[in-house]
Amino acid sequence: MADILGKNAKRNLLAIELQAHKGPAYTLSFIEKCGEHVLLSGGDDGRVFGFNWSSLLETLLEAEPGDELSVLPCLKLKCSQAKRAHGGLDPLPEVNSVTSLLSGEIIAGCGDGIVRVWDTTTGAPVLELKGHNDLVHCVVARSQAQQVLSGSEDGTMRIWDLRAGGSCTSALDVWNASPLQPGSSSPASSPWVGCLALDPAEHWVAAGCGARSIALYSLTAAQITACIPTSAPPQALVLHKDRLMSVGAEPYLTQWNIQGKLIKLTDCTPDSAFGLAVHPCGLTVVGGSTGGSVDVISEIGSTIAVLHCR
C-alpha cells in the first residue's frame, strides 16, 4: 500500500473516480467478502455498489500519467420499491448508511424508514426491517449477537434481532430518555438520531441526538448509563478504548470518558464535520463538509496535519 501511494505521489495521481451512482453518494464502508476487502457505497439512487479494494490498488499501480482510471463494481444491490394502491411503484429510497455483519449480510439504512438486509455472497435480499416512522440515518452491526442497530429521523434507536427473523427487540426514544441537564433550555432542533457508534467489544452503543445530546447505552444491562449534553448536534461518533469521541456542527473534536465526563476539546479546521475515524495506532481523522479539509490528530489531541482536497 505504501509503495503504491508513494509511486502515485511521484506521478501526481490523486484518485480513481468510480462512476457508479446516478446522483450523490451518501455513505462508504468496508466489508470482507470471500477473504477480500470490498469498498461499499450507498447513494441517492437507492443502490449499493461494492468495489474490490485489491483491484483498485492494482489499477493505481499499473496506471500511467494521464490514464483514465476505471474499476467496475463487483457487487450491485438495489432497494425494493413499494407498490402504490393504483399501480406503479414508489421512488427508490436513498441509502443513507451501509454496514455488514461478519456472518455475511449487508445492512442498509434507507430513506423510506426501512433497514434492508442482503446476502453478501448471492446479493439476494434477505430481510426488510420495518418499524421506523421516518427515514433511517444510520445503522451499525453487532455481529456477536446477530443484531442490527438503527437510528432514525423519528427520534428512536431500534435493535433488531436477525436470529429471530429480524424482530425489533427494543425501540428507545433517545431524546425522551436523554433529559436536558438542570438549567438547560429546550432544544432548538428536532430530536433525530443521526449517528451511532459501537465499541469494539460490542457492549456499548453511543447515539447522537439532533436535540444536542449523546446517549450512552449499555447493551449488556439494556439501559442508558449517561446522557451527555452537546453544544451542537452530533454528526459522527467513535467509541475508542475507554473514550467517546464526537464531531458535529461545530469546529471541535470532543472527547469524553465512558461515564460521560469531558476529557478534551480539540480545535478542528472544518466548521462542520461529518466524518470521524480512528486508526488502531491512535491517529484520529476528522473530515468536514465545506472547504475539503481533513484534520489528522494525534492520540494526545494535537493536530499533526491538515489535508486539503483539490
The Cα–Cα gap between 21 and 23 comes to 5
Question: Which is it for strands 303-308 and 293-297: parallel, antiparallel or unpaired?
Answer: antiparallel
User: Which pLDDT score, from 0 to 100, does residue 169 have?
Assistant: 94
Min mean pLDDT across 29-43, 123-137, 173-187 is at 173-187
The Cα–Cα gap between 80 and 201 comes to 33
User: Which pLDDT score, from 0 to 100, does residue 182 have?
Assistant: 38
Q: Given a cut of 80, is residue 11 above it in pLDDT?
A: no
Min mean pLDDT across 7-16, 149-158, 240-249 is at 7-16
Model pTM? Answer: 0.86
pLDDT digits (tens, 9 = 90+) for 68-111: 777 788 899 999 988 887 778 888 999 999 999 988 899 999 99
Q: What is the largest CA-CA distance in the chain?
A: 62
Position 290 confidence tier, pLDDT thresholds 50, 70, 90: low
User: Which pLDDT score, from 0 to 100, does residue 101 have?
Assistant: 92
Position 299 confidence tier, pLDDT thresholds 50, 70, 90: confident
At residue 170, the 3 state secondary structure works out as strand
